[in-house]
A and B are shown apart, each in its own frame.
Chain A
Amino acid sequence: MVQAVLSHSLSRALLRTLAIGMLAFAIFGPITNMLLWAVAEVWYFPHKLLLEYGFVFWERVFRPEGNATEALFSSVWIAVLTVVVSLAIAIPAGYALARGKMPFRYLVMLLFLLPQAFPAVAVHMNVARTFYGLDLNGSVAGVVLVHASQGLVFAVWIATAAFAAVDGELEAAARNMGAGRWRTFVDVTLPLALPGIMASAIFVFLISMDEFTGTYFVGAPEVVTLPMLLFTSSMEGNYQIASISSLILLVPSVGFMLVIERFLKADVLANVGN
């Protein structure tokens, strides 16, 4: 009896250790591989460990004339523009949706979801075809629009939730004190919704930084972003450049986790999609 219990708990502990080990490997395995490749100078089959290591490829990536630096800048520039475009739509749309005076509220909210509802490749192929006619192919503007169309659903939903979390009576109090609609929005509504808006901005920034399919269809070959560079370098077997680009892409993601944890309050999160 005692033995049975003991062996049972032992096998459970073993199982748990195994599960945690596999999970850790699933998370850290690729990252470790990436980290190793980022500092590898010579490494080929069948050697299990690096043959020579150093930062030669980093120097190559960050060289002013290197295309990685250029790709990083164009990625950041496109991401910033995407955030601006998304917020320009998400702030008024979110406010209108949150205050609930719009007809077909849910239909409008679903509309922003549409680009996500169809296979990305099919959507982007058609977008590329349309943009070609509008002379937007290969332009930063075209890429920004594609990125924004993907970021908007999150931007609008999170902004709506952020505005909905602002108590209408706080606005009424400002009106009562003598503030007009616009002044009330600027002095009361926007500052109170700002943490949520910030979170949605970061979200859109990340989506844009990470976006590949749309950029490939609409932007290539003129516009080269970091994910595009990653793709071409890994296709060429240039794993060092690919790994270093991936590491750079990882930075904003980690930053996002930290920021979202600070800014996004439970009452805003609870309102997402409402």
Chain B
Amino acid sequence: MVGVGIEIEKLCVGYNKAKVLHEIDLEINPSEFVALLGASGCGKTTLLKSLSGFIKPMSGAIKVAGRDVAQLPPEQRNMAMVFQSYALWPHMTVRQNVGYGLKLRGVGKGQIKAKVDEMLALLGLSDFAERKVPNLSGGQRQRVALGRALAVDSPILLLDEPLSNLDARIRLLMRHEIRFLQQRMGLTAVHVTHDREEAMVMADRIVILNEGHVAQVGTPLEVYEQPKSNFVATFMGAENEIAVHVSRANGSVELIEQGAVKAASLPVSHEIGDGGVNWRATSAGQVLGRFHSSAAHLVADGAVPAGHLAFAGTVTQLSYPGGVFRYEIECSGQHYMIDDACRYAVGDAVTICVPAGGLHLYSDAA
């Protein structure tokens, strides 16, 4: 079955009057893979539970193919869900687990067997059909849970942190497997995760939630390269923070020399990839800069290239996570993590250079 679109309109959800989701507006296109990304407690799981019908929203609408399902019980929504705990029934065999949804739909025994066999073959579980769930490994359980959800041919697939209980290596494999199946079947998928990389790799679009509000919606490239707010930038891994003083001149940002920061002129970005600053501040003056440790590099001799934010510091720690060295640089009491391929020693004086294209500027910490 081909996926259908979901429109979420002004959705408010709460437990005991405490609001968890505040007027969420979100449109999910047919056959699109959307990741709901956020820290724990941001409301991403609550949003998924509202979609699946386990929580009744206070107000607002959830439209599936144009029909509002917000007040329907879970069994009438026809959305297949993969649970974080897998929630496989231990008193049933793998075959019974996968076939249960079809049995409920009144499908004939022969047809159920054929469909379950097809599912199990697709997921590489053919040898395990008659096993009981407790006798399966974590990865196999995950596949059974996926098979159970896919067997009912529901147009919408809901994934509640399905990979969080798996070994790191199997997790990486399953990311691609789930994505492959979703694309092959053309399903609309909503995936909840707190793992940024997982969301980036799997999703067409990422919805970043913060305290019950949508912080940003965009493709992985958009939310990574052009985070709208300081929160999104931080969440997407731009952990390095520096206060800078700036003024605006036509089409560029002028960095004013202040403390360790050197004066420079940086172009402002108009579209992703043009190498300009992601300017999100409301006005010039004191602004907050953010950048990824991989976006910056170090120079030893102070020869700063043009169009870079540059400030001097001292190497206080180094490690080798693979590919590049990771340095901790101290600069006027603050610490920065910088990745660089060149080797420096602890105590070396270096200058951190952040290209305009790797810098995000915000007015406030929100």
Q: Does B186 contact A (CB under 8 A)?
A: no
Q: Does A173 contact B (CB under 8 A)?
A: yes
Residues of A within 8 A of B148 (CB): 173, 177
Residues of B within 8 A of A177 (CB): 75, 80, 100-101, 104, 148, 152
Stretch at the interface among A50-58, A134-142, A178-186, A242-250: A178-186
Which of B74, B89, B105 is in CB contact (< 8 Å) with A176? Answer: B74
Residues of A within 8 A of B81 (CB): 173, 176
Distance in angstroms between the alpha carbons of A192 and B75 in the assembled complex = 20
Q: Does A170 contact B (CB under 8 A)?
A: yes
Whether the Cβ atoms of A167 and B75 lie closer than 8 Å is no
Whether the Cβ atoms of A169 and B87 lie closer than 8 Å is yes
**Chain B 161-175 interface residues, beta-carbon cutoff 8 Å to A:** none
Q: Does A22 contact B (CB under 8 A)?
A: no
Which of B75, B85, B90 is in CB contact (< 8 Å) with A175? Answer: B75
Whether the Cβ atoms of B83 and A174 lie closer than 8 Å is no
Which of A176, A179, A187, A191 is in CB contact (< 8 Å) with B52? Answer: A176
Q: Select from chain A the residue with minimum beta-carbon distance to B104.
A: A178
Which of B80, B87, B91, B104 is in CB contact (< 8 Å) with A179? Answer: B104
Whether the Cβ atoms of B105 and A169 lie closer than 8 Å is no
Interface of B is mostly: loop
Whether the Cβ atoms of B91 and A176 lie closer than 8 Å is no
Q: Does B310 contact A (CB under 8 A)?
A: no
Q: Does B347 contact A (CB under 8 A)?
A: no
**Chain A 140-197 interface residues, beta-carbon cutoff 8 Å to B:** 167, 169-170, 172-180, 183, 187-188, 191-192
Q: Does B79 contact A (CB under 8 A)?
A: yes
Residues of B within 8 A of A180 (CB): 73, 75
Whether the Cβ atoms of A176 and B79 lie closer than 8 Å is yes
Which of B54, B83, B101 is in CB contact (< 8 Å) with A178? Answer: B101
Q: Does B78 contact A (CB under 8 A)?
A: yes
**Chain B 55-75 interface residues, beta-carbon cutoff 8 Å to A:** 73-75
Whether the Cβ atoms of A169 and B104 lie closer than 8 Å is no
Residues of B within 8 A of A169 (CB): 83, 85, 87
Q: Select from chain A the residue with minimum beta-carbon distance to B84.
A: A169
Nearest-Cβ distance from residue B342 to partner chain A, whole angstroms: 51
Distance in angstroms between the alpha carbons of A190 and B229 in the assembled complex = 50
Q: How many residues of A contact B (CB 8 A)?
A: 17
**Chain A 27-55 interface residues, beta-carbon cutoff 8 Å to B:** none
Nearest-Cβ distance from residue A136 to partner chain B, whole angstroms: 41
Residues of B within 8 A of A179 (CB): 75, 104
Interface string of B81-121 (1 = CB under 8 A from A): 10101011111000000001100110000000000000000
Distance in angstroms between the alpha carbons of A178 and B73 in the assembled complex = 10
Q: Select from chain B the residue with minimum beta-carbon distance to A191.
A: B91
Which of A170, A178, A192 is in CB contact (< 8 Å) with B105? Answer: A178
Given the contacts A167-B85, A169-B83, A169-B85, A175 and B91 also touching, CB distance less than 8 Å: no
Q: Select from chain B the residue with minimum beta-carbon distance to A184.
A: B75
Whether the Cβ atoms of B74 and A188 lie closer than 8 Å is no
Residues of B within 8 A of A188 (CB): 89
Distance in angstroms between the alpha carbons of A136 and B52 in the assembled complex = 52
Residues of A within 8 A of B152 (CB): 177-178
Residues of B within 8 A of A170 (CB): 87-90
Q: Select from chain B the residue with minimum beta-carbon distance to A172.
A: B54
Which of B53, B90, B100 is in CB contact (< 8 Å) with A174? Answer: B100
Whether the Cβ atoms of B89 and A172 lie closer than 8 Å is no
Distance in angstroms between the alpha carbons of A191 and B90 in the assembled complex = 10
Whether the Cβ atoms of B75 and A173 lie closer than 8 Å is no
Nearest-Cβ distance from residue A64 to partner chain B, whole angstroms: 43
Nearest-Cβ distance from residue A195 to partner chain B, whole angstroms: 10
- A-B complex: 5 closest residue pairs judged by Cβ atoms: A173-B87, A177-B101, A175-B74, A169-B87, A178-B104
With A176-B81, A192-B89 already in contact, 16 other A-B pairs whose C-beta atoms are closer than 8 Å: A167-B87, A169-B85, A172-B74, A173-B83, A174-B100, A175-B54, A175-B73, A175-B75, A177-B75, A177-B80, A177-B100, A177-B104, A177-B152, A178-B76, A178-B78, A192-B90
Q: Which residues of B contact A (CB under 8 A)?
A: 52-54, 73-76, 78-81, 83, 85, 87-91, 100-101, 104-105, 148, 152
Q: Which residues of A contact B (CB under 8 A)?
A: 167, 169-170, 172-180, 183, 187-188, 191-192
Q: List 16 A-B contacts (CB under 8 A).
A: A167-B85, A169-B83, A169-B85, A169-B87, A170-B89, A170-B90, A173-B89, A173-B148, A175-B53, A175-B74, A175-B75, A176-B81, A177-B100, A177-B148, A177-B152, A178-B78
